[in-house]
């Protein structure tokens, strides 16, 4: 047990160990599979837990605790509980997945993107999408570049719609890739956000091609990903010259609404793209502006973001990031 105070799953493991086997079985049966996996891994790190540490945890959760609480053989204890709650086969799988996840991620991190692309090129697009959603944004972009053009369009669409992967599916995946990459455990992910960040880190030509493929297949999905690639706050990255160009395409009412809830930094950023007279007038109008619905403010900001993205795509302005869309 490390000298640091127990946190998260370790506390949950301590509580299970303290409440007795019968009660703990009932609690364990109500937990999600990923939670059981994390608690099992945490329990294996407890070792001999000092009574005062256990009491601190139990007091925090307002639970009763004995004065002589001993936490020996905690890993075996949680294993017995898991067997009773889920059966031996499922218990073994759940309790070994955290270690397998660490091994899988480590091997992925060490694998050259070109080599990884070669390995994944033999797999089904859904399998590739699942793996790429675990390797990190930068590496996913590098791997995609080295996949076949038609294949990667299919994969990026699947990545964007991937929300949660069950332990059973992941078990099949790390079974298939175990010889070269190791094993992987369940995780949750926001597919659209992940793909947006992957695309941002790719070269412009490849990014534009994949984003166009997404939009061709699903216009709404493509628009959602575009919005996550650039937000109203990202306007702060733009130069005064580009802000001046953007300002020409934004009407005053939309701009005023968009700045209603903005920081002073954002307002000053807009003023730099205006003449002194126009900036002074805008500042005065904002000070005298009445209440506005948050929905209207957000719609105005969204409208400006769309204008900025269109100007960026046409090359009229630089959106501020490295090779941004």
Every domain of the chain and the residues it spans: 9-86, 98-212, 231-313
CATH number of 231-313: 1.10.220.30
Assess whether pLDDT exceeds 60 at residue 80: yes
pLDDT digits (tens, 9 = 90+) for 276-318: 999 999 999 988 888 888 888 888 988 898 899 889 878 899 8
pLDDT score, position 130: 85
Task: Give the confidence band of 186 by pLDDT, cuts at 50, 70, 90.
Answer: very low
Assess whether pLDDT exceeds 60 at residue 261: yes
Among 228, 231, 218, 230, smallest CA distance to 156 is for: 218
Q: List Cβ neighbours of 209 (8 Å cut-off, separation of 6 or more).
A: 149, 153
pLDDT score, position 9: 76
* Alpha helices (H) along the chain: 9-19, 21-30, 33-43, 51-60, 74-86, 88-110, 113-120, 125-132, 137-145, 149-160, 167-177, 191-200, 204-217, 219-229, 240-248, 252-259, 264-271, 276-288, 294-313
Say whether 98-212 and 9-86 share the same fold. yes
Task: Give the confidence band of 134 by pLDDT, cuts at 50, 70, 90.
Answer: confident
Which string of b and e fits 97-131 if b means at least 16 CB within 10 Å? bbbbbebbbebbeebebeebbebbeebebbbbbbb
The per-residue pLDDT of the chain, averaged, comes to 75
Rounded to whole angstroms, the Cα distance separating 34 from 114 reads 32
Assess whether pLDDT exceeds 80 at residue 100: no
Rounded to whole angstroms, the Cα distance separating 319 from 265 reads 17
pLDDT score, position 65: 41
CATH number of 9-86: 1.10.220
**Is it true that domain 98-212 has CATH number 1.20.1630.10?**
no
């Amino acid at each position: 047990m490390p000298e640091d105070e127990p946190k998260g799953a370790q506390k949950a493991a301590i509580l299970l160990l303290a409440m007795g086997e019968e009660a703990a079985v009932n609690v364990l049966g109500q937990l999600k599979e990923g939670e059981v996996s994390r608690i099992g891994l945490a329990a294996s790190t407890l070792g001999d837990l000092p009574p005062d540490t256990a009491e601190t945890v139990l007091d925090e959760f307002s639970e009763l605790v004995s004065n002589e609480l001993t936490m020996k053989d905690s890993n075996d204890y949680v294993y017995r509980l898991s067997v009773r709650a889920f059966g031996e086969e499922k218990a073994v799988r759940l309790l070994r997945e955290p270690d397998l996840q660490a091994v899988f991620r480590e091997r992925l991190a060490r694998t050259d993107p070109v080599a990884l692309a070669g390995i994944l090129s033999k797999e089904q697009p859904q399998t590739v999408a699942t793996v790429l959603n675990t390797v990190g944004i930068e590496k996913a972009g590098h791997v995609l570049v080295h996949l076949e053009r038609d294949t990667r369009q299919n994969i990026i669409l699947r990545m964007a719609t991937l929300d949660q992967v069950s332990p059973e599916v992941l078990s099949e995946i790390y079974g298939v890739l175990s010889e070269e990459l190791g094993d992987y455990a369940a995780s949750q992910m926001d597919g659209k956000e992940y793909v947006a960040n992957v695309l941002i880190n790719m070269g412009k030509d490849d990014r534009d091609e994949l984003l166009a493929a997404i939009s061709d297949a699903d216009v709404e999905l493509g628009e959602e990903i575009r919005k996550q690639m650039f937000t109203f706050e990202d306007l702060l990255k733009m130069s005064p010259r580009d802000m001046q160009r953007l300002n020409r395409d934004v009407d005053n009412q939309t701009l005023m609404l968009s700045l209603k809830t903005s920081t002073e930094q954002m307002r000053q950023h807009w003023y730099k793209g205006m003449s002194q007279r126009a900036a002074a007038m805008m500042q005065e109008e904002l000070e005298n502006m009445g209440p506005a619905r948050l929905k209207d403010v957000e719609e105005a900001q969204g409208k400006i973001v769309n204008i900025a993205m269109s100007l960026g795509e046409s090359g009229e302005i630089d959106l501020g990031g490295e090779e941004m869309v």
